[in-house]
């Protein structure tokens, strides 16, 4: 038989028996996974872009939505907290590369330390994101949704440093109180398959009455004017708009409606940051597993810390995605 097996030792890279790309199977598959995951995320972000272009004239302004910083109540600091989160994630990426580098030198003590720091960074990030979600869901001004699904927000003109600026008011600052008996429908009190979400603290009548009673309060619509600010209606228009079109009071955000603007905004926020947060969470879990393997000396015995390198790739990818989410949700 002349079908001899050629082992590719005749100096050809692609002849077999070698790894032409100079990476191990595991690392290459991690790269392929990252490519496919990157395409998933870009699908989400592109869909976000699609919806944003569709509602380009009325999309919420991120600087007005994400203004909170923990422990600083009632103050507005757009960007600060999310910048902190970005630094935390970049920092944990750095400790991850340092762990990989220590792994190249087979330095078990250093790999252990840096892996631990990476895990802490990841936990701080996930915690921050949970806090961000909680603040977003709670909301702090409240708004009214119209029959057409638009959001009406409230505020007044104030003079600050000699300049007249529009300041948002919360519904609870001006709404009247009308005694009424509206009870939340539970499954236990009606038919077993019928229930409703929590009822807003104020009814539309109370908000209308409050608006009429306070001559300083104005309605602001979703529409952006030529300066890129939301349009503020005149006093007369404000009352008309609320009386003719106002339908439900909205506090905070859920998947159906939110006080910031079009419902798609909250949906994309929950979906994309949620999916990213899930990646961070699973990254932390994988990091913890590898961390224990490092402590147990698994890679010490193998004389190779390549596993740390592979989870490192995943961890950096999570950071990479956040860089884009940060830009498209908070900056642009």
Partner 1 sequence: MAHAHQLQILRGLVKFKSVTQKIWGVLILLSIITTVEVVLGIYKPESLMMKFVGMKVLNWIFIILTLAKAYYITWDFMHMRDEKANLRRMVIWTTVFLICYLLFILLQEGGYIESVYSSSYIRRDF
Site residues for partner 1 per CB under 8 A: 20-23, 28, 31, 34-35, 38-39, 42-43, 46-47, 49-57, 63, 78-80, 83, 86-87, 90-91, 93-94, 96-98, 100-101, 104, 146-148, 150, 223, 228, 244-245, 304, 306, 312-313, 316-317, 319-320, 323-324, 326-327, 330-332
Place of tokens 């104020």: 202
The number of beta carbons lying within 10 Å of the beta carbon of residue 39 is: 10
Q: Toward partner 1, which CB reaches closer, 81 or 174?
A: 81
DSSP secondary structure string for all residues of 53-97: HHTTTTPPPHHHHS--BTTBTT---TTHHHHHHHHHHHHHHHHHH
Q: Strand (E) positions, the chain?
A: 143-146, 151-160, 163-168, 218-224, 230-232, 246-250
The radius of gyration of the chain from alpha carbons, rounded to an integer in Å, stands at 27
Query: Nearest approach, Cβ of 121 to partner 1 (angstroms)?
Result: 13
Classify 6 as helix, strand or coil. Answer: coil
Q: Toward partner 1, which CB reaches closer, 154 or 305?
A: 305
Of the candidates 185, 153, 131, the one whose C-alpha atom is nearest the C-alpha of residue 251 is 153
Query: Nearest approach, Cβ of 188 to partner 1 (angstroms)?
Result: 37
Q: Toward partner 1, which CB reaches closer, 24 or 137?
A: 24
Classify 253 as helix, strand or coil. Answer: strand
Q: Who contacts 119 (Cβ-Cβ below 8 Å, separation ≥6)?
A: 284, 287, 288, 291
Query: Nearest approach, Cβ of 222 to partner 1 (angstroms)?
Result: 10
Query: Nearest approach, Cβ of 227 to partner 1 (angstroms)?
Result: 9
Q: Toward partner 1, which CB reaches closer, 116 or 176?
A: 116
Question: Do the Cβ atoms of 278 and 270 come closer than 8 Å?
Answer: no
Query: Nearest approach, Cβ of 295 to partner 1 (angstroms)?
Result: 21
Query: Nearest approach, Cβ of 202 to partner 1 (angstroms)?
Result: 22
Q: Toward partner 1, which CB reaches closer, 169 or 325?
A: 325
* Alpha carbon distances (Å) from 295 to 111, 112, 116, 117, 289: 9, 7, 11, 14, 10
Query: Nearest approach, Cβ of 39 to partner 1 (angstroms)?
Result: 6
Q: Toward partner 1, which CB reaches closer, 2 or 161?
A: 161
Q: Toward partner 1, which CB reaches closer, 46 or 130?
A: 46
Question: Do the Cβ atoms of 285 and 115 come closer than 8 Å?
Answer: no
Tokens of 272: 């994309």
């Amino acid at each position: 038989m002349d079908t001899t097996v050629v082992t590719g030792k005749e100096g050809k890279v692609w002849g077999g028996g070698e790894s032409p790309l100079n990476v191990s199977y595991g690392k290459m598959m991690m790269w392929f996974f990252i490519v496919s995951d990157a395409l998933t995320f870009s699908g989400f972000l592109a869909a976000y872009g699609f919806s944003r272009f569709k509602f380009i004239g009325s999309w919420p302004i991120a600087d007005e939505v994400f203004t909170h910083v923990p422990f600083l109540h009632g103050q507005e600091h757009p960007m600060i907290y999310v910048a902190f989160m970005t630094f935390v994630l970049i920092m944990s990426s750095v400790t991850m590369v340092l762990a990989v580098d220590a792994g190249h030198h087979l330095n078990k003590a250093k790999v252990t330390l840096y892996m631990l720091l990476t895990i802490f960074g990841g936990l701080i990030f996930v915690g921050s994101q949970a806090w961000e979600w909680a603040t977003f869901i709670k909301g702090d001004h409240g708004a009214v949704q119209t029959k057409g699904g638009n959001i009406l927000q409230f505020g007044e003109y104030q003079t600050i440093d000699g300049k007249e600026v529009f300041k948002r008011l919360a519904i609870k600052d001006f709404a009247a109180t009308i005694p009424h008996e509206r009870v939340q429908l539970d499954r236990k009190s009606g038919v077993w398959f019928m229930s409703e979400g929590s009822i807003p603290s104020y009814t539309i009548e109370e908000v209308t009455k409050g608006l009429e009673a306070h001559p300083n309060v104005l309605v602001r619509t979703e529409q952006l004017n030529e300066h890129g600010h939301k349009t503020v209606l005149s006093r007369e228009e404000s009352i008309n708009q609320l009386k003719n079109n106002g339908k439900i009071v909205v506090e905070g955000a859920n998947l159906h409606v939110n006080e910031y603007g079009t419902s798609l905004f909250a949906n994309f926020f929950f979906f994309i940051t949620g999916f990213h947060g899930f990646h961070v969470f699973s990254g932390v879990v994988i990091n913890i597993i590898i961390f224990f393997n490092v402590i147990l000396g698994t890679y010490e015995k193998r004389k190779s810390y390549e596993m740390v390198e592979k989870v490192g790739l995943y961890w950096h990818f999570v950071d990479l995605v956040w860089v884009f989410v940060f830009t498209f949700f908070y900056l642009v």
